[in-house]
Amino acid sequence: MNILSINHGIGPSICLLKDGKVIFAIEEERLNREKNTMGFPKLALQLVSKEHSNFIKSVNIVAVANHHFLEDNKTKFRQKYYDNFYGKSFQDRLLDFAWVIKKKINFLLKRKKNNNEQIAVKNLTLKYCKNLKKNINFNFFKHHDCHAAAAYYGLARSFDKPYLVLTLDGGGDGENATVQIGQFGKLKRLSSTPSGNSIGNLYSITTFLLGLTPHEHEYKLMGLSAYVPHIYKKKSARIFSKYLNLDKDNNLNFKAAENIKTNKIHKLLFKDFELERFDNIAGGLQLFTEELVTKWIKNCIKQTGIKDILLSGGVFMNVVMNKKISEMSEVNTVDVFPSCGDETNSFGAAFLLNGMLAKKLPSFNSFMLGSSTSINKKIINKYKNKCFFLKVKNTDLAAAKLLAKGKIIGKCDGPMEFGARALGNRSVLADPKILDAVEKINASIKQRDFWMPFAPAIQIDESEKYVKIPKSLKFKKNPSPYMMFVMDSIKNKQSDMIAALHKFDKSARVEIVDKIHAPKLYSTISYFKKLTKRACLLNTSFNIHGFPIVRTAEEAIKVLLDSSLDALVVEGYIITKRKEK
């Protein structure tokens, strides 16, 4: 059974599932080069139609995440934040009025909006994916069911065992959160929180009001929160608690303050925090988020009796909060689907459809699901006046030797990772013992805010020497292959990875590296360990600030030329810049 699956709206992406196994997946942003792009995955569909034409020709059915068609672009989406804060223009109000009239006319003509939206999705899919059968069937799934399916089908270790599956985000298909139970290959809903009652809304709107980009820079507030004294966090958290809490009538649901919904809270939030320091606001929001979500999880465990939990949805990209969850005494085991924002709903839709048709758990054990890249004569001739191309037999060994000499390298080698985290195949790597590496990477490559940490990539064999792994994560062979949890560092190893730790609390957003999830990075660290006696590297995504992670060798070369990278590693080659005359 071959399945093509699509997510549109925020994080447009596609996923190919062959007989229950994910064989390819890619986000639209890697192709249109617009970070956190929105809309329909046009280029992704064109790519698979060309590069996976035989698979596409044999696709039996298409799975689509979201009942409602979400083709908003970033500009239109962000405008909603300004409209809610400053108010809409007269022209926009006229357009809204025209939309309402059109909707009523459609209703009178008995045309269902959902059907029209689904027809639009079908037509766009057939337009951009030429090799699909014209009469192919489409199955549409609810947004939060896709999040739940990604977590359950993608992470469950047992078919018979019950799992508590929780989803939480800013909203989709009229919902902000769900509580579900996964068992025997099926998901059963227990509870759903309707739109307008979202902690994700509060986080995004606060990000916007602090002058940052919503649905992109929320992680900056999370990183900043560690610097704030608890007394100031607590003060701000009390204000946030006025806007949202758990529903008194059903404590598995969230409920906003009765007079205002969380997606319309811009002006009130600004008024309440107008004279408060920006870092105190960030710290209070993070504390409030941790306390409310852990309270919700306790209620869910108490009501169901299930202590093995699986999580998905954009709020669970908050890795500091995930740390708190992993340390809860009520939790037996916990796992979070990698890069669990809307981009992975293409996985969830595919998994749901596979579960309906095949009635078994799919095969999923790696996020290295994109295309590989290489250096050819055309690229060498194009850049030979700007770069040296040194051919090497063992790319991983060559990379390790450069790193052991203190060089900062870009690695564009092997299948591209899916999602928000670079896992070694599209990474910037450095020796984490060299603190100056942080300033060098920030100065001309990443341009990250001074308070934001990088990530340590630690070989699995040595992981417990470097970080404290919570008991709830030890049930897996690899406790943290996708950087979805922050962990405390071991004090006597902090100097060996100081450049990759949070500057204030020395915590680690750790990638534990094994041969299955990241084989090439595992190999590089193995060689680095032989040279330095240390089994850890600094890892950050291979991109210039404001742009997506690189996909091709040529994109990687352009970053090399425009940054302070010392070298670029691509399959079979070490590439360095020529000095300007």
Tell whether pTM > 0.75: yes
In one-letter notation, the amino acid at residue 494 is Q
Sheet of 61-65, strands arranged across: 21-27, 13-18, 2-7, 61-65, 137-141
- The CATH code of the domain that includes 507 is 3.90.870.20
- The CATH code of the domain that includes 125 is 3.30.420
Whether 307 and 389 map to the same domain: the answer is: no
Whether 169 and 309 map to the same domain: the answer is: yes
Indicate whether 432 pLDDT > 90.
yes
Q: Domain total for the chain?
A: 3
What was the pLDDT predicted at 424?
A: 97
CA distance 189 to 194: 14
What was the pLDDT predicted at 74?
A: 66
369 falls within a domain:
no
355 falls within a domain:
no
CA distance 496 to 511: 16
Whether 137 and 260 map to the same domain: the answer is: no
Which residue segment(s) compose the domain that 262 sits in? 145-338
475 falls within a domain:
yes
488 falls within a domain:
yes
For the chain, how far is it from start to end, CA to CA, in angstroms?
A: 58
120: CB partners within 8 A, 6+ apart: 69, 71
pLDDT in tens, 168-219: 999 999 999 999 999 999 999 999 999 999 999 999 999 999 999 898 899 9
282 falls within a domain:
yes
Residue ending a domain, choose from 313, 338, 363? 338
Task: Taking residues 334-341, report their average pLDDT.
Answer: 97
Whether 315 and 390 map to the same domain: the answer is: no
CA angle 61, 63, 65 (to 5 degrees): 170
Nearest CA-CA partner of 16 in 63, 68, 50, 71:
63
Q: What is the dihedral of CA 174, 176, 182, 185, to 10 degrees?
A: 40
9 falls within a domain:
yes
Q: Are strands 333-336 and 308-312 parallel, antiparallel or unpaired?
A: parallel
CA distance 6 to 14: 5
Which tops the pLDDT comparison, 18 or 97?
18
Whether 257 and 190 map to the same domain: the answer is: yes
Which tops the pLDDT comparison, 477 or 80?
477
Task: Taking residues 534-543, report their average pLDDT.
Answer: 97
Whether 109 and 238 map to the same domain: the answer is: no
320 falls within a domain:
yes
Whether 149 and 67 map to the same domain: the answer is: no
Indicate whether 442 pLDDT > 90.
no
Whether 517 and 421 map to the same domain: the answer is: yes
Percent of the chain with pLDDT over 70: 93
- Distances from the Cα of 565 to the Cα of 51, 274, 411, 545, angstroms: 31, 41, 11, 14
What was the pLDDT predicted at 362?
A: 81
330: CB partners within 8 A, 6+ apart: 297, 298, 301, 302, 307
Residue ranges of the alpha helices (H) in 164-309? 199-209, 218-224, 230-240, 266-272, 278-304
What was the pLDDT predicted at 117?
A: 82
**Residue 381: band (very low, low, confident or very high) from pLDDT cuts 50, 70, 90:** very high
Q: Are strands 409-412 and 426-430 parallel, antiparallel or unpaired?
A: antiparallel
Q: Are 149 and 171 in contact (CB under 8 A)?
A: no
What was the pLDDT predicted at 106?
A: 61
pLDDT in tens, 245-297: 999 999 999 999 878 999 999 999 999 999 899 999 999 999 999 999 999 99
Whether 118 and 196 map to the same domain: the answer is: no
Nearest CA-CA partner of 145 in 167, 128, 120, 126:
167
Q: How many other CB atoms are found less than 10 A from the CB of residue 109? A: 7
Name the CA radius of gyration of the chain, rounded.
24
Whether 438 and 553 map to the same domain: the answer is: yes
User: How far out from the chain centre does Cα 31 lie?
Assistant: 17
Which tops the pLDDT comparison, 301 or 545?
301
Residue that has been written with the tokens 């599932």 in this structure: 17
- The CATH code of the domain that includes 240 is 3.30.420.40
SS3 46: helix
CA distance 212 to 349: 31
Residue ending a domain, choose from 124, 144, 164? 144
What was the pLDDT predicted at 279?
A: 96
Residue that has been written with the tokens 């809610």 in this structure: 84
Mean of the per-residue pLDDT values for the chain?
Answer: 92
Residue ending a domain, choose from 102, 122, 144? 144
174 falls within a domain:
yes
Whether 136 and 227 map to the same domain: the answer is: no
552: CB partners within 8 A, 6+ apart: 373, 412
Burial class (CB in 10 A: 0-12, 13-18, 19+), 248: exposed
Reported in sequence order, the residue ranges of 493-533 that DSSP labels E, i.e. its strands, are 507-509, 511-513
- Distances from the Cα of 54 to the Cα of 59, 133, 168, 285, angstroms: 9, 12, 37, 49
pLDDT in tens, 496-515: 999 999 999 999 999 999 99
Whether 70 and 210 map to the same domain: the answer is: no
Nearest CA-CA partner of 162 in 179, 174, 138:
179
